[in-house]
Amino acid sequence: MTEVSCRSMHDVVAFAITREEKARDFYRDCADSAKNKGIKEFFREMAEEEARHRQLLADLDLSAEKPFSDLDEHGNVKDLHLSDFMIDVRFSPDIGYQEALAMAMKKEEKAHAFYKAWKGRCASEKSEKLFSFLAEEELRHKRRLEEIYDSEILQEG
């Protein structure tokens, strides 16, 4: 499923679940293939975060009047834009910590942009709220990774 069907909220949520599963599987594959124990753990944590998102979406009660009332409103997350100045990094089993962080930041940046772009494409308030939430979540992940990168990579020098 590469395109969102806006026919129903079930379609929108199913699409979002599929995206979260693909992200989870990607990070799991990285964890399984990485040679460094710390890098394996980093990718496992990333996979767990995606799995939590998938479960959050799967647990939504779409028959409820306000199915998204349980979704946390985080407010506006400030983007540090560190990944704006990075190139895409491809995974290799020997990947280093700096490269793993950069790769994850770029992945979260792209997920944020994707959900943000879809926010206004489905003509329903519910789908807009869902895409806004998902975009904000991806930005929160990116921000967390940028903070780690800033404190553990940039501040080291």
Task: Show Cβ contacts of residue 147 under 8 Å, excluding neighbours closer than 6 positions.
Answer: 80
Q: pLDDT for 112-144, tens place per residue?
A: 999 898 887 877 788 888 888 888 889 999 999
Q: pLDDT for 52-92, tens place per residue?
A: 999 989 998 877 766 666 565 556 777 878 888 889 999 99
pTM value is: 0.85
